[in-house]
Amino acid sequence: GAVVSQHPSRVICKSGTSVKIECRSLDFQATTMFWYRQFPKQSLMLMATSNEGSKATYEQGVEKDKFLINHASLTLSTLTVTSAHPEDSSFYICSAQTPSGTPDTQYFGPGTRLTVL
């Protein structure tokens, strides 16, 4: 199957700093990429949907100025958590989808665990 990578896999930062997470589709072009957040013992929750070359669409309750998403190419999307605070500590997972749009063409990355001290 297709491979989606995320970098870094784990990051620890101080409160108030910004953190950038990269999501790459390694062997296919992803027209759409998604960013999810998973708190302990909770569901994965969609944060935003991004299409290459256009602005991301954010889910209700997700601050677009705090979670900056850039989808610069068909293989790369970045999520920047600006001015991170301890409540932003979570597991962030991206997924990438090919143009066909069926469920078996949405591939998930391994996730990034963010800890804000």
Binding residues (CB under 8 A) for other proteins: these are 4, 6, 9, 32, 34, 41-46, 49, 59, 93, 95, 97, 101-104, 106-111, 113
Q: Write down the least CB distance from residue 43 to other proteins, Å.
A: 4
Tokens 């100025």 locate to: 65
Closer to other proteins by CB, 14 or 44: give it: 44
The distance of Cα 89 from the centroid of its chain, to the nearest Å, equals 14
Distance set, CA 114 to CA 26, 84, 111 (Å): 23, 10, 10
Smallest separation (angstroms) from other proteins to the CB of 82: 24
Contact residues for 1 (Cβ-Cβ < 8 A; gap 6+): 107
* Residue with Cβ nearer other proteins (84 or 109): 109
Nearest approach, Cβ of 83 to other proteins (angstroms)?
26
Contact 82, 101 (CB under 8 A): no
